[in-house]
Structures are given as C-alpha cells and as structure tokens.
A and B are shown apart, each in its own frame.
Chain A
C-alpha cells in the first residue's frame, strides 16, 4: 500500500529556533501533500496544501511566514516552523494524495511531535 514517512518523529528545540519537518511519499508520486496540526485529544486541523512546483495554499489563520512549506519534488514536502515558540508545540501530521487508481486518497505520515522549550 501507499506509504508516507515523516522525519523527525520527535523534536525538542529552544524557543526562537527553526525546525524543519520532512514528509515523503515512498512508493508513489504526490503532486499534492497536506500539512495538519493536531492538538491533544482533538481532531486534525488542516494548515496548508502543498503543491509540487508552486506555492502552498494556507488555511485561514495560518501564518505563511511562520510555517514555510516547500514541495520541491513529487515525493518530498517540507514544513519549516520558523522562530518556534512554546505555543507551536504540537503534533504535526502530513499526508500525500495518491491519485492513481479509482478516486483520490490521502495517506498519512506517522506524525512529528514538536516540543518548543
């Protein structure tokens, strides 16, 4: 089946530093990837849609200068949390859209736990 990886799985950083999270589709090409944020005991909140070769589309209320997204290839999207602060601590999950076969399906990565001290 379709596999999506994320790296790192956990990261702890100091306030003010930047953190990069990678999302890779391992066995399929994904022109579109999505970045979500999940708070404890909550559902997923879509942050942005990452399109290969073009600018990401951000959801309302998500700061594009804070959460930089780059989708340089058909198998890799990166999310950089710039000048991270404690309120950015969260669980970040990416998904990649597989358009092969019937319909379109998002496959999710295992998530990245970010803790900003």
Chain B
C-alpha cells in the first residue's frame, strides 16, 4: 500500500526567508502528487499538483514543488515566506482507479517576524 511521509511536524521560518517542506512517498509506480494548505478551522486549498511531464511544477501563492523519482520525493518550496503562509501543509498522493488520496501527517509552518 502507498504511504506518504512528511518528516517535519513543525517548521518555523523568519518572514522573507526561503522555505522547503519535505514529502516522501512510497508507491510502486509514479503517483499523482499534490500539496494542499489548510488554515486553522478551514478546508484544504490545492497549492499545486504533478501528474506527468516537467518535474518542477508551479503553484499558487508563489509555491513550487519538484518531483524527484530517484528519491521518491515531492518537496514544496517558496523563495520568500510571508506571514500569511503560516498554516498546515499536507502532501498527498493519488493512486489507483478513482485517484484515492493518501495524506501525509502534515507540517505546521510558523512564520516569525
């Protein structure tokens, strides 16, 4: 069965600093890959997704992610973090018929002034 690991439960960065959130997956083939963001008490908003093609994908709010097959990773990056980026970030893989999603445990991002 597929699994998703987000090694960092919490990350704190200074506003304006760069950010990288790690995501590793376990699956026999290339899955669909997603990053979602969740603000407190809210649903999930799709940041970006990878299905095929260019392994560097651009998303909303200045985020990007790179699929590295050799490392089974799909890390999320942003060159300069804003205070409004503080939230919970979930990596997910979609597999099989129906593209069922398996979520990582999430990474809580805190931004300090």
Contact = CB atoms under 8 A, between A and B. Distances in A.
Interface of A: 4, 6, 32, 34, 42-44, 46, 49, 91, 93, 95, 97, 102-111, 113
16 contacts: A4-B43, A42-B105, A44-B90, A49-B98, A91-B41, A93-B43, A93-B44, A102-B51, A103-B32, A103-B51, A105-B46, A106-B101, A107-B46, A109-B43, A110-B43, A113-B41
Contacts of B67: none
Contact of B45 (A97, A102, A108): A108
B51 to A, nearest CB: 4
Contacts of A102: 51
Given A4-B43, A108-B36, 13 more contacts: A34-B101, A42-B105, A43-B90, A43-B105, A43-B106, A44-B103, A46-B101, A49-B100, A95-B101, A103-B32, A108-B44, A108-B46, A110-B42
A108 B103 CA distance: 13
Interface string B60-94: 00000000000000000000000000000010001
